[in-house]
Structure 1
Amino acid sequence: MVSLKAAVLWLYACSVVLGGSEGSFEEVRATEKVVSFPERNANSTPNPLMVPLTLIQGADLKGAVCLDGTLPGYHLHPGSGSGKHSWLIHLEGGGWCNTIRNCVFRKTTRRGSSKFMEKKLPFTGILSNKAEENPDFFNWNRVKLRYCDGASFSGDGQNESPQLYFRGQRIWSAAMEILMSKGMQNANQALLSGCSAGGLASIIHCDEFRALFPQSTKVKCFSDAGLFLDVLDVSGGHTLRNMYRGVVSLQEVQKNLPSYCTSHLDPTSCFFPQNLIAGIKTPLFLLNAAYDEWQIVSSLAPSSADPQGYWNECKLHLAQCNSSQIQFLQGDF
């Protein structure tokens, strides 16, 4: 594995296709299809390996449940040969929920309930078992941990009235416990990766992941399109910060954020990767777009910040941006 402390590769990372009915920003995010850059060609891969969903039995006894109270789950394909003792854990992405209303909506989707998760998923790209497609990890133990909490695997609370369980941190812990029992404790090298909201989670949990293993185990982390920025939107407001504030407060994320950050910054600031990266001790790799499509559309120039539609063409087609818009984008990215 590469021995750099951190490598920032400005490439297109996550392919995001929005779908579902019209509604709030978070409702759309809950139903989107999120595919990481290493997984992007799933549909074009002939006869992809289909890996079944495994629910974490007994997780509910520890309070580790999805938003609706169902068991969390993962997909695991065991390693072989030289990769028998190597592990890759990929944290699924898919936005966040920051209000009771959109968390209630989210629990009716696969992003909030294992009842709606696919029973099998294709393992392609970085999860593929084909050496020609995935030469570095094809024979590793490869795991995709499903995302059903809405706070990047970091919340720990609940709301009784609408029966919402904010248990992302417990899901993370329960998943790591079961995977360690399935052989990950004997790993000689391990990589924690994640896409989008899962990419943020891979940053938040990076040092926790390292702490699971003895010092002799090579451990690194990889965040794919998880570098969400705390910047002003086109109206001078804080669209993403306001949304993150809701996530952190509603789901009681603050108790699980690194103390090296919360000791001098507010909890919402410590949900932004830019305030976490410097304190992470484990080698961390960042893959992000120079012009992150999702952040441009939903954070920098959302409709709420651009009611006149001045940014409509630019945010959907960068070639249509004028010089002042490009200057604004380059100032942030």
Structure 2
Amino acid sequence: MKSFLVISLFALLLPRCSRGFEYWNQTKLVDDGITDVGVPHFVPITLIGSAAAKGAVCMDGSLPGYHLDKGFGSGANSWLVQLEGGGWCNDINSCLYRKKSRRGSSYYMEKQLQFSGILSNKPEENPDFYNWNRVKIRYCDGASFLGEGYDSAAGLFFRGQRIWLVSMEELMSKGMRYADQALLTGCSAGGLAAIHHCDEFRALFPGNIRVKCLADAGMFLDAIDVAGQRTLRHFFGGVVNLQDILLENVSFGLQEWRETYQGPALLAFSLFCIQTPLFLLNTAYDVWQLQESLATKAADPHGYWIDCKMNNAKCNTGQIEFLQGFRNQMLLSVRKFSLSSKNGLFINSCFAHCQSERQDTWFGSNSPSIRNRGIAKSVADWYFDRFQVKLVDCPYPCDGSCHNLVFSRRY
């Protein structure tokens, strides 16, 4: 039976792989005029030559890849592995579209990527992880590194699980087997992948070393949209069926989920089932979910939500009230998860999406904070067991530290 750990989520740009779900690539973002600081640090891509023989290929059959910046000094044996985000595709047409992009083929991937935020190699930008071995695994399967299928008619490979496994084998051969501490992370679709693969990652290492996971913008609630429908529920069902997603050690299947899904309750159950310490970094007003599941074109045919979706400052009273209900559902979803002393939580009241990858939101003089505690410090304090971190922001518009995303054009 196909089993799907419904974290009520499924992430990024999650862009579904369709145009509507890839707004990162098609919309210019304005972020308070703040830019990354320092000299950009670019890391070349490495393709995994052994992957083809194992069927661990991108959607078009090309080799998967990763970017590795070696650690040094005290971090020479510490490893931070980031799973790239980029949404999913839930039907043949959207997958064919994705197949001809960097989200489905290594032929279109950048040969070098800038490492910033949690991947930065500068102590002034990333004080706790700058000298670790830092890896970004590229995302080209369309299902958060979870699929295990093939469509011969369309020539589409859904091999996310195999890509995950061959990537781990590759990194272990590159020295990760000798790690004295490790952190698995990801943003959006990569954040969802980090949740799903968290316990698998833990199992790679001896039990006496510190291994934890960080999911950035990886929570996508099964929330009712502005038209009273459940956009994500239908969409994720398509992803699961198309890509033959099969997860082991899950006690319920897709059909059971469709029949008995109860939103926040099941999300909390799913998160609580993960044994490895996990940190959830999320905004209470995630702009991806606002644009692509709460107020889609289909749900808002007359465009009443367009201005609000593009700029939170233009949301009217009724729209803010609706979004406060979404925030309440999110907090309810993580209540049980947050009770565990091993887990961490940082939910702020910004209109944003992914805050660990960008330098201005990860660590800077005016980065987002809750009770004067920034994101990078909160994650590090939790990871190194300095403090328990369970930070939840007051409701919008109380937080003046936010770097809200404002979109420059409509689509």
Q: Tell me, yes or no, whether TM beats 0.5.
A: yes
1:256 equivalent in alignment to 2:247:
yes
2:98 aligned to which of 106, 112, 123: 106
Please say if residues 234 and 305 of structure 1, whose CA atoms lie closer than 8 Å, have aligned partners that are also in contact: yes
Q: Aligned partners of 1:308, 1:42: CA distance in 2, in Å?
A: 33
316-325 or 75-84, larger mean C-alpha shift: 316-325
Matches within 5 A, 1:89-104: 89-104=81-96
1:231 and 2:220 matched? no
Q: Which of 210, 234, 238 is residue 242 of structure 1 equivalent to?
A: 234
Matched, 1:329 2:320: no
The residue aligned with 2:145 is: 153
Q: Which runs of 5+ in 1 are unaligned?
A: 1-13, 19-23, 35-40
Match of 1:307 in 2: 301
Give the TM-score, by structure 1 length. Answer: 0.86
- Specify the SS of the correspondent of 1:219: strand
Residues 17, 88 of structure 2: 8 Å contact kept: no
Q: Which amino acid aligns with 2:197?
A: H
TM norm structure 2? 0.70
Partner of 2:169: 177
Match of 2:49 among 52, 57, 70: 57
Contact 1:194-1:222 at 8 Å conserved across structures: yes
One-letter amino acid matched to 2:82: H
Q: Does 1:140 align with 2:132?
A: yes
| Aligned counterpart, 2:284 | 290
Alpha-carbon shift at residue 315 of structure 1 (Å) = 2.3
8 Å CA contact 1:111, 1:149 repeated in 2: yes
**Alignment partner for residue 271 of structure 2, among 267, 277, 298?**
277
- The 3 A distance-change label for structure 1 pair 15 and 48 is farther
1:188 and 2:180 are equivalent in the alignment: yes
8 Å Cα contact 2:148-2:243 kept in structure 1? yes
Aligned equivalents of 1:68, 1:45: Cα separation in 2: 36
Distance 1:16 1:249, change over 3 A: closer
**Partner-residue secondary structure (3-state), 1:304:** coil
Amino acid at match of 1:300: L
Deviation for aligned residue 1:319: 2.7
What's the secondary structure of 2:303's corresponding residue? coil
Q: 2:168 is aligned with what amino acid?
A: M
Contact 1:30–1:111 (CA<8 Å) still a contact in 2?
Answer: no
**What amino acid maps onto 1:259 in structure 2?**
V
Residue pair 1:30, 1:109 contacting (<8 A) in 2 also: no
Aligned residue number for residue 212 of structure 2: 220
Q: Closer, same or farther in 2 for the Cα pair 1:267/1:130, shift >3 Å?
A: farther
Deviations 1:79-134 (A, max 9, x none): 11110110000010011111100101101000000000001111111111111111
CA RMSD of aligned residues (A): 2.8
The one-letter code matched in structure 1 to 2:137 is L
Q: Secondary structure of the residue that 2:121 maps to in structure 1?
A: coil
* Contact map agreement 1:65 1:171 (CA 8 A) in 2: yes
Distance in 2 separating the partners of 1:119 and 1:96: 22
Residues 274 and 242 of structure 1, relative CA distance in 2, 3 Å threshold:
farther
Percent identity between the two aligned chains: 55
> Within 2, Cα distance between the matches of 1:31 and 1:290?
19
**Residue-by-residue CA offset, 1:246-272 (whole Å, 9 max, x unaligned):** 11110011x126414549942896998
Q: Is the 8 A contact 1:66 1:166 kept in 2?
A: yes
**2:18 corresponds to which residue?**
26
- 1 CA distance for matches of 2:34 and 2:323? 31
Name the count of aligned residue pairs. 309
Task: Find the partner of 1:266 among 257, 281, 300.
Answer: 257
Q: Which residue, out of 310, 318, 326, partners 2:312?
A: 318
- Looking at structure 1, the residues matched to 66 and 118 of structure 2 have their Cα atoms a distance apart, in angstroms, of 16
Decide whether the 8 Å contact of 1:257 with 1:267 is kept in 2. Answer: no
Structure 2: runs of 5 or more not aligned: 1-10, 27-32, 328-411
Structure 1 residues 165 and 17: alpha-carbon distance in aligned structure 2, compared to 1, 3 A threshold: closer
